[in-house]
Amino acid sequence: RYRRLCLLPANASTADWIAAKARTFASGEPLPKTSTVERLEFRLYDLPPRRPRFFQRRTPPSAHIADLTFWDAPGEFFSGPIPDELRPELVHARGLILVVNPLQPPSTHSNASPYWDFFDGALRSVQQAMIAARDAGASVPGFDDISRRIAYPVAICLSQADRAANPERDPNEWLGELLGRDQRLLTDWLANQSAFSFSAIGGDRATAGRGDPRPKYVMHPIRWL
């Protein structure tokens, strides 16, 4: 059965954040560049089938199956190791979504590939935080002691696919183009990873100019996690 999932704000502040973005988008104005750091909380629900099965007298209720936390922050907030305030959540999480802009390389302070510099800084800091938590006596199910890799699923998401020349291209191929030979090094950090691409507004904004967004493939990495 194909699961029907629904993601909703978990509190008033997150709902207000969503509403403000939606009003700006519907007005036709460009979304402002993020200037502050905000922690946004969502709840993921498993919805019942559109039609009850023949043996069911009534539709079963929706089920809350997971909590998702998103950090909305300026790009430079992540230009290096994961900030201290995020690390405890990542150590004890059940999965991680890394959103990367494939059209604008992240800033870098070294001579390495800017994309590899981002992944190396982020994943190394999560690995070190997991080791420190384990050494302090905490249970860290998302860490593999033998391989010393991050064991929980990590979705690497390439955003703004609607602006790409070929928005339907295979995301693994696209990621490989960004990382080159360094792509194979991701397996040094990650035991379970997959690449995705999506568009938060959909591909019709350029012609429509305003109105409701038409997200494309946004739920794919969430469903995989």
For residue 100, give the 3-state DSSP assignment. strand
CA atoms within 13 A on the CB side of 80: 6
The token pair at 71 is 């950090």
Which residues, at least 6 apart from 164, have a Cβ–Cβ distance to it below 8 Å? 102, 103, 174, 197
- CA–CA gap between residue 202 and residue 62 (Å, rounded): 27
For residue 26, give the 3-state DSSP assignment. helix
Q: How confident is the model at residue 213 (pLDDT cuts 50, 70, 90)?
A: confident
Q: Amino acid identity of 12?
A: A
- Quick: pLDDT tens for 108-126: 665 567 888 888 888 999 9
- Quick: pLDDT tens for 49-73: 776 666 656 777 889 999 999 998 8
Contact 225, 95 (CB under 8 A): yes
- CA–CA gap between residue 150 and residue 90 (Å, rounded): 10
